[in-house]
Structure 1
């Protein structure tokens, strides 16, 4: 469906200990788009992600997922999530790449269910899609930060989500692997039609990869296409070039 809204945020506000973190946020995400979210430290970017994922509840307003009120939404397998794992992952964790990606099916098949052949095929396919098939039996802790993040993407997409949310996923990843990371995201968007929502401190990468951008600083200061943002950022956003500085 053209311009179908898969995420709608309507007049959402949120406070931590009476301090306003998000103030009357209005925002929507269309199916198949790549939305980048930028802004200074403390602007509410990660809080917004937690609200979308249902980890926090808004103090005001409502969030719709696939046109359904979030409080009634049950099909969380339709939404994948990738966080800053590469920067903080326990390198002593003994699981293999295959096992880590398989854990992404827990919500779909149950915690103690055996993997069926079709599930194993899905796991292998997800690992192939992120270019890590040659490492399928390698311990996750033996991989580089960039390789680990590829595995976490595979885990997030193994259940075939329609939306993939990424919160600062390139923190701790070297420049070469960051380029590969974005190529994988674009491939997922083009080949699988996954909608991408990504929080990032790297404004230049967002402007080169995303098609829409939000500049957030407790309120939505800008929401529109990337080219429009490029035209106005110098005159409207003093921190836009270094949003987390």
Structure 2
């Protein structure tokens, strides 16, 4: 039976670190199976919003529901995978193989000192296969390019079989010529594996043909709708969201 409840429901969310609000009265829903891009200028509250959704910050005003449950009562965190900008700051001398890095994503499920079973090893291989990195399983993580490392970190998040995957600027440190392939892989995870994706990105022109929804955040939520509606916005409307001039780029695929 298809669950029609939104996977995330944010209502009247505001947050401040000092006296000034970094998020103000933000409300939106993420349907199950969506691929949402969150865009906005630096300092617009994108990272704060992610931290609130991931339970790393406690809500002050407004509510967040995950899988139809208030975030303060939510316990099923293995349902949510998170990939940060790790490739840009990863210690290339770290002595672990690709297989071991992905397998470490099962630590919470297995417990710290339990050995993985055959079924767990199959999960690791399946996750590596999903990001097209199975042939690299015995390579040291430090030998890989930034883009390959990010694929491995996504596999590490996928190994616990989450329903929702959140990615924070995942193409930082990825060679520009591989960025398009990277987004094609995310589209495949969304369409073929049915994983709901939230992507914080500056590359919105590159991903509008891959994502299903776009949210423009600049303290307030200035736009939230499907990718087609976003593509109909003109430069003046986009500039009003961003607080400065925005030039629309034409991307031919």
Counterpart for residue 6 of structure 2: 5
Query: What does residue range 1-245 of structure 1 map to in structure 2 within 5 Å?
Result: 1=2, 3-238=4-239, 239=242, 241=246
Offset, 1:28: 0.7
Cα separation, 2, equivalents of 1:180 and 1:111? 35
Number of residues of Structure 1 aligned to a counterpart in Structure 2: 243
SS in 1 for 2:7: strand
Q: Deviations over 1:153-194 (max 9, x none)?
A: 100101110000000000111123212211211111122110
Q: CA deviation at 1:3?
A: 4.2
Deviates more, 1:159-168 or 1:232-241: 232-241
CA shift, 1:231, in A, is 1.4
Any conservation in 1 of the 2:5–2:68 contact (CA below 8 Å)? no
CA positional deviation for 1:226: 1.2
TM-score by length of 1: 0.95
Task: Answer whether contact 1:203 1:241 (CA < 8 A) is retained.
Answer: no
Deviations 1:112-166 (A, max 9, x none): 2110110000001111111111110111111000000000010010111000000
**In 2, distance between residues paired with 1:61 and 1:204?**
31
1:242 and 1:169 mapped to 2: Cα distance? Answer: 23
- Consecutive unaligned residues in structure 1, runs of 5 or more: none
DSSP 3-state at the match of 2:72: helix
Runs of 4+ more than 2 Å apart: 1-4, 239-243
Cα separation, 2, equivalents of 1:235 and 1:2: 38
- Provide the rounded CA distance (Å) in 2 between the counterparts of 1:68 and 1:242: 40
SS at match of 2:124: helix
**Larger deviation: 177-186 or 154-163?**
177-186
Q: Where in structure 2 are there 5+ consecutive unaligned residues?
A: 249-253
Checking the alignment, whether the CA contact within 8 Å between 1:7 and 1:67 is kept in structure 2 is yes
CA contact (8 A) 2:235 2:247 kept: no
Q: Distance in 2 between matches of 1:105 and 1:235?
A: 47
Give me the whole-angstrom Cα distance separating, in 1, the residues matched to 2:200 and 2:113: 33
Q: What's the CA shift for 1:236? A: 1.3
CA shift, 1:2, in A, is: 6.2
CA-based RMSD of the aligned residues comes to 1.5
How much does 1:242 deviate? 6.6
Cα distance in 1 for partners of 2:4, 2:229 equals 19
Aligned residue number for residue 251 of structure 2: none
